[in-house]
Amino acid sequence: MSTIDEMQQRLATLEPEAMEIGDDSALHAGHEGARSGGGHYNLTIVSPQFDGLLTIKRHRLIYNALGDLMQTRIHALSIKAYAPGEL
């Protein structure tokens, strides 16, 4: 399973209304994290679970959902997390 597929599967626990994951790894070729196998990704996600939460709490929910991927297959993750109606 690709890293993006694994991310989508794990983030499904947040019941997203919309989710887009991009792979920016090629832009960071030669970077320390890229050499060790970790990719660079960007995530835009809209979830009702983010309603009323500060950005840091939204990010924690995402990191918890991704679990060990953050220490292995993901070196860097840019996050845009919204509650419905915030876009």
| Consecutive 10-residue averages of pLDDT for the chain (87 residues) | 96 98 79 66 98 98 97 93 95
pLDDT of residue 30: 60
Q: Supply the angle between the helices 55-66 and 3-11 in degrees, to the nearest 10.
A: 120
Under 8 Å between Cβ of 52 and 83: yes
In a domain, 37, yes or no: yes
Q: Which domain holds residue 10?
A: 3-82
What is the pTM (predicted TM-score) of this model?
0.88
The total number of structural domains in the chain stands at 1
pLDDT of residue 84: 97
In a domain, 15, yes or no: yes
End-to-end Cα separation, the chain, in angstroms: 31
Question: How would you class 34 by CB atoms within 10 Å of its CB: exposed for 0-12, middle for 13-18, buried for 19 or more?
Answer: middle
pLDDT of residue 29: 62
Question: How would you class 47 by CB atoms within 10 Å of its CB: exposed for 0-12, middle for 13-18, buried for 19 or more?
Answer: buried
